[in-house]
Amino acid sequence: MIPRSNEAWVLALKQPGEAQSEALHDLHDFLVRAALVYLSQRRSELAHWGQQAVYDLAEDLAQDVVLEIRDSLDSFRGEAKFTTWACRFVINRAASELRRQRYRNLSLDQLGEEEPAIFQSLLADQGTGEPEHLAEQHDYLALLQHIIETELNERQRAAIVGVHRLGLSMDEVAEMLGLNRNALYKLLHDARQKIKARLLARHLTEGDILAAFRS
């Protein structure tokens, strides 16, 4: 692949002709290599995949991304290297694809069922802490449970259960809630703001709560 400046990439990709064909070809090959580097670094998530399947996935990703890049050329502002900008697309798709394979296909109802137990394992854990600390821990968890139940809406509670208790990816929880990742982030940000505001209104700092949980 011949090295190209940002301007050379955009010019070649925009103008139909031999230069465009060459640029599309080089871009495709570069994206296949980039996708394979990303996938090979996540070999453990592709434990049962053979070389052909991995290569085919990289090819599919590269093809989709070439089209996406061609349609997004006007949004490239040249602040980053064109190759870094292009890689961002293929990594985003590759990462989403790997996450899709980990989907546990839970329903929203199932998330709702987990909700009352959000701090249950912590409340049940008597540990070896001192009684005052344990009582304090219990109080803080009860307070947080109360804030979550009264301040947040159903989707926010489900999102917290999904992401923070069950460890699901943002993409998976977003799909369960019929959102995209961006909208889920904003939903969770709003939830965090509400919880933080209620805690600070009670003059409770993070340090106050952490002190109770230090064994």
CB of 12 to other proteins, least distance (A): 19
Does the footprint of other proteins cover residue 6 (CB under 8 A)? no
* Residues of span 149-188 touching other proteins by CB under 8 A: 160, 163-165, 167, 169-171, 181-182, 185-186, 188
What is the sign of the dihedral through the CA atoms of 190, 193, 197 and 198?
positive
Q: Is 34 exposed, middle or buried (0-12, 13-18, 19+ CB in 10 A)?
A: buried
Q: What element of type H or E holds 199?
A: helix 181-201
- Residue 97 makes CB contacts below 8 A (sequence gap 6+) with 57, 61
How far apart (Å, rounded) are the C-alpha atoms in residues 1 and 68? 20
The smaller minimum CB distance to other proteins, of residues 15 and 116, is found at 116
CB of 54 to other proteins, least distance (A): 5
* Residues of span 65-124 touching other proteins by CB under 8 A: 75, 79-81, 83-85, 87-88, 91-92, 94-95, 99, 118-119, 121-122
How far apart (Å, rounded) are the C-alpha atoms in residues 56 and 68? 18
- Residue 124 makes CB contacts below 8 A (sequence gap 6+) with none
Does the footprint of other proteins cover residue 134 (CB under 8 A)? no
> 85: which 2 tokens?
């900008």
Which residues sit at the interface with other proteins, rule CB under 8 A? 32-34, 36-41, 43, 46, 48-55, 75, 79-81, 83-85, 87-88, 91-92, 94-95, 99, 118-119, 121-122, 125, 160, 163-165, 167, 169-171, 181-182, 185-186, 188-189, 192-193, 195-196, 199, 205-206, 209-210, 213
